[in-house]
Amino acid sequence: MTEQDFTPKSYTSKVESGSVKWESPSNIALVKYWGKRESQIPENPSISFTLSNCKTITEVTYTKKEGTDFSFDVIFEGEKNAAFKPKIQTFFERVEGYLPFLRDYHFKIETSNTFPHSSGIASSASGMSALALCLMSIEEQLTKNVIQSESEEFQNFNSDFFNKKASFIARLGSGSACRSIEGELVVWGETKSISDSSDLFGVKFTENVHPNFQNYQDAILLVDKGEKQVSSTVGHKLMYGHSFASKRFEQAHENLAELKEVLTNGNQKRFIEIVESEALTLHAMMMTSIPYFILMKPNTLQIINKIWEFRQSTGSNICFTLDAGANVHVLFPEDEQKKVYEFIKSELVAYCQNGHYICDTVGKGAKKLA
């Protein structure tokens, strides 16, 4: 599919007002995306686990209006939040060509997270995907009868097309948001090893996942709940001219191809090696960029060393991954839940800010709410 497939020519239904509500989860990348081109196109492919409990709930109320300017209010956690408005304005400007009704309505965007904002969990992924899904539901209302478009899929407006366009739209708000529409594993970025992969939207990983990796668990240890030291947008730009960029992009393709095999054959040892190496490579890219940044905190390193010691002494299949911050995602199989949480409580909680951590598991993706 191309961008043109997502561009409607006209709507025929007339809707004066309404309200839609979606919840959309965060996700945690196993193979990391770091570096992007214009229009939020990734420099390398990525694959992520969709989470279940860490999600954003967004309700959009829309009312027909006069005038041609974008008109919207953002209410976060029950209070008007002007700080989010510039990002939504930019998002609307980017997606207007694909959602031409945006200037026709005033939107009240009410949103909340089930996890601390700016906690190092990908709130932009869950937030922008939830908003994209709400906007897609509005477009679906506007296309109830007939829609004129170059794309036959658009005319049918089936669930596959809905999800692809929602992912496409979400990507233009936040790159990783395109991986939050579906679950349990989602691939984003064109790569030879995944036949239907695309730079434009995320696609479900459709291979038969080995039982070893089904219902995987993610305990998110909140080492630092403050604002990110470096925004993801700035971090991605640091890959321009980076000495190791081309090799890193090549490595991501290789790791994703191998991880595809690992997820189907159940090789837990190799899964751990790829996932932890990817996490450390992401941080190595930041430490060797100009300017350079160290995003891990001393407690991040303490937790990593404790995980390695625990794995060595018990034979556990526990491992860690990191996003572009200090917090640690502890990944482990469902059948190790009891012993890993005992380990977290006895050994790792001391390194978390105020002892806080979040228990999560792999989920099925976003859901429309009544």
Same domain, yes or no, for 178 and 221? no
DSSP element (H, E) containing 134: helix 123-142
48-57, 227-236, 276-285: least confident range? 227-236
CATH of the domain at 174: 3.30.230.10
Q: Does 186 share its domain with 297?
A: no
Q: From 162, 191, 207, give the residue that closes a domain.
A: 207
pLDDT at 275 over 50: yes
Last residue of a domain, one of 207, 233, 264: 207
For 211-232, how does the pLDDT look when each residue is reduced to its tens digit (9 = 90+)? Answer: 999 999 999 999 987 767 788 8
Tell me if residue 80 falls in helix, strand or coil: strand
Q: What is the mean pLDDT of residues 264-277?
A: 98
Q: Which residue range forms the structural domain that includes residue 280? A: 215-361
Nearest to 13 by CA among 187, 139, 176: 139
198 and 225 housed in the same domain = no
Task: Label residue 119 by pLDDT band (50, 70, 90).
Answer: low
Q: Residues 160-197: pLDDT tens digits?
A: 999 999 999 999 999 999 999 999 999 999 999 999 99
Q: Residue 120: what pLDDT?
A: 54
**Do residues 189 and 227 both lie within one domain?**
no
Q: What is the mean pLDDT of the chain?
A: 93
Residue 192 domain-assigned?
Answer: yes
SS3 percent helix, strand, coil of the chain, rounded to 5, is 40, 25, 30
Residue from 178, 174, 166, 56 nearest 119 by CA: 56
Question: Are residues 198 and 67 located together in one domain of the fold?
Answer: yes
Identify the pLDDT of residue 148. Answer: 46
Condensed to tens digits (0 to 9), the pLDDT of residues 90-99 reads 999 999 999 9
Q: Is residue 242 part of a domain?
A: yes
14 Ramachandran zone, left/alpha/beta (phi>0; psi -120 to 50)? beta
79 and 28 co-located in one domain:
yes
Decide which of 154, 176, 207 is a domain's last residue.
207
Chain segment 19-28, per-residue pLDDT in tens: 999 999 999 9
Are the C-beta atoms of 165 and 20 separated by less than 8 Å? no
Q: In this structure, is residue 370 part of a structural domain?
A: no
Query: Are 181 and 273 members of one domain?
Result: no
Residue 122 has pLDDT above 60, yes or no: no
| Cis bond before residue 25 (omega within 30° of 0) | no
Do 262 and 334 belong to one domain?
Answer: yes
User: DSSP of 279-305, one letter per residue?
Assistant: HHHHHHHHHTSSS------HHHHHHHH
> How many structural domains does the chain have?
2
Contact 136, 163 (CB under 8 A): no
Same domain, 15 and 92: yes
Residue 146 has pLDDT above 50, yes or no: no
Residue 136 predicted with pLDDT over 50: yes
CATH value at residue 243: 3.30.70.890
pTM above 0.85, yes or no: yes
